[in-house]
Amino acid sequence: MLERFKQLISSRIGLQVEDLNLLQKTINTRVHYLGLVNFHQYYNLLEGDSRQSTGEWQHLIESLTTGESYFFRDRGQFEILRTHIFPELIRRKEGQKAIRIWSAGCATGEETYSIAIEIFELLPQVRHFNTTIIGTDINPKAIERARAAIYNDWSFRMVDPEIKHRYFVRKHDGWHLDKQIKDMVTFQVGNLVSDIYPHSSTDICEMDLIVCRNVFIYFDKDTVSLIIKKFADTLSESGYLLTGHAELYTLALGTLKSLIHPASIIYQKVTTTPVEEEKRHKHYPPTKTDGSPIIVPPPQTFSQALTKTPKANKIAAATAAATP
């Protein structure tokens, strides 16, 4: 019977449940709470399309998706955002004065707010941009917590104390995020498998950066491929996708090109030819950096910078050889 539940959950929300003990415990709890006779009655409830069925799926999702997160998780990837991705986006979008970012599978919001803090902290000129940062998660309870933006000490285990005290205030119920940062972000419940995107009604479209880390481990290969195709369609031209380490290894990426950085692999949407890409960026003047806070970003694109890195070239060649 548990296998039937696994198949139903996979087909409905794409989630691959590997912990059968957790699944059985969750079903037992819900069966007793609802006063049902057995697992079969609960299965039939989930199969239905009533309001009770919809509500029950929410309870099930909350029980099966823990969503552990913390601020500035994976310092290497945030370093890439700080020193390469954000400066390039600022320069490239200077004319439009708009940057669009989607944190997909955002759990309780720590990652999404970390992105907002990074932009606010290192790129002050972005404040005159129309910056859109959207966090989505399948778990409604997680989204409620993200909107509240109140966190305990465990969420800050990788955070510089100076940053913590600059953007959070300690109160009786936890650390409250500064309103300026909180207002940079919007959250909504979203299902990466069944939702339609890109879609203007949810504002999930034309994204310059999609961050979806440590989410694909819960899906099978076909589901991941489906999501990646939808992500590519949702990215703007030359937009970036940042995932967990090695989550997309061996998968066909379509219009996404792998960029190998010592700290991580980043994916960029490329539908233009190299010559067209060169023309698109050639009007940006060269600039120099002196170690001061990044105000004017470097002239070359992230992909151009990586092609000049010998270590990156060796890794890229090895990856290409291993990818079918």
Per-residue pLDDT, 170: 96
At 321 the pLDDT is: 44
Looking at residue 59, what is its pLDDT? 82
CATH number of 2-64: 1.10.155
What is the band of 63 on the pLDDT scale with cuts at 50, 70, 90? confident
What count of other Cβ atoms lies within 10 Å of the Cβ of residue 286? 7
Give me the mean pLDDT over the 30-55 stretch: 90
Mean pLDDT score of the chain, rounded to an integer? 83
The reply to whether 75-322 shares the fold of 2-64 is no
Half-sphere exposure of 320 (CA within 13 A, CB side): 10
Which residue has tokens 């957790």?
22
Q: Which of 212, 321, 216, 316 is nearest to 260 (CA)?
A: 316
Is a pLDDT exceeding 80 seen at residue 295?
no
pLDDT at 284: 38
CATH of domain 75-322: 3.40.50.150
Q: Which residue has better confidence, 283 or 188? A: 188
The answer to whether the CB of 69 falls within 8 A of the CB of 110 is: yes
Stretch among 62-66, 99-103, 141-145, 319-323 having the lowest mean pLDDT: 319-323
Number of alpha carbons in the 13 Å side-chain half-sphere of residue 129: 25
132-160 mean pLDDT: 94
Q: What is the mean pLDDT of residues 33-49?
A: 91
pLDDT beyond 50 at 9: yes
Residue where the block lists tokens 């399309």: 49
Q: Residues 271, 281: contact at Cβ < 8 Å?
A: no
pLDDT on residue 8: 92
pLDDT band at 278 (very low <50, low <70, confident <90, very high): low
Q: What's the average model confidence in pLDDT over 278-282? A: 48
- Cα(1)–Cα(72) distance, integer angstroms: 40
Q: In 3D, which of 315, 295, 297 has the Cα closest to residue 306?
A: 315
**CB 248, CB 225: distance < 8 Å:** no
End-to-end CA distance of the chain: 37
**pLDDT at 94 exceeding the cut of 60:** yes
pLDDT of residue 294 exceeding 50, the answer is no
pLDDT greater at residue 124 or residue 261 = 261
Q: What is the pLDDT of residue 298?
A: 45
Q: Could you tell me the pLDDT band of residue 324, with boundaries at 50, 70 and 90?
A: very low
Q: Which amino acid is at 66?
A: T
Query: Given this model, what pLDDT does residue 263 score?
Result: 81
**What average pLDDT does range 47-52 have in this prediction?**
85
Every domain of the chain and the residues it spans:
2-64, 75-322
pLDDT at 292 over 70: no
The whole-model pTM stands at 0.77
pLDDT tens digits for range 206-255:
999 999 998 888 888 889 999 999 999 999 999 999 998 878 877 878 89
The pLDDT score that the predictor gives to residue 17 is 84
